[in-house]
Amino acid sequence: MTAIEQPEPTRKNILLIPLAFLSLLLSGAIFGFFYAWICSTMWGLDAADPKVAIAAMQAMNASVRNAVFAPAFFGTPFILIVTAAIAWTSSRRSALLLALAGVIYFFGGVVLTFTVNVQMNEALALVTIPESIEEARQIWQEYSEPWQFWNIMRTIASGITLLLTGCAFLTLRGGKG
């Protein structure tokens, strides 16, 4: 088929690459968010005075619910699934990779966050910072260690999501399907 004989792009095809790029962007943003907590934020808080760590974490947890964070956190699985649905007629391989990425992030990111990390954050929000440094250290350690474990799990899930999304994007761009 020559360029002249090719059919006009459908609305789905016109949307596919921008949606795939948005999927990749959001997946990368949320992976970077969780990853930054692993390699800097929590290590810094662990090295700080535990009273300061508790207060800082309370403040960060209160501020994270915002319009800048919400699209990457909440939108990622839905954009991935929508993109997978649109990709289905063009590239089943990409569609399956995108759908798998959406499911992995939904359960390993969103569901895990709400069932574990948010619960821990809400419990920490109720803590009155104690006068005793030892009591503050105990509170912080009881919070930080399990919180970090579950954050690593979210980071792994979002990293796999990013990898699958990148593979899907490359498959789409390469025309293999």
pLDDT band with cut points at 50, 70 and 90 for residue 173: confident
The verdict on pTM exceeding 0.75 is yes
**Main-chain dihedrals φ then ψ at residue 9, nearest 5 degrees:** -60, 140
pLDDT recorded at residue 14: 85
The token duo for 124 is 């920490």
pLDDT band with cut points at 50, 70 and 90 for residue 177: low
| Among the listed residues 95, 78, 80, 86, the one whose alpha carbon sits nearest the alpha carbon of residue 168 | 95
Distance between CA atoms of 127 and 99, rounded to whole angstroms?
40
| Among the listed residues 173, 28, 156, 7, the one whose alpha carbon sits nearest the alpha carbon of residue 94 | 173
First and final CA of the chain: distance in angstroms? Answer: 19
* H-helix segments, 106-177: 112, 118-125, 133-174
Per-residue pLDDT averaged across 86-91, rounded?
93
- Which amino acid is residue 156, in one-letter code? I
* pLDDT surpasses 50 at 7: no
pLDDT in tens, 39-83: 999 999 999 999 999 999 999 999 999 999 999 999 999 999 999
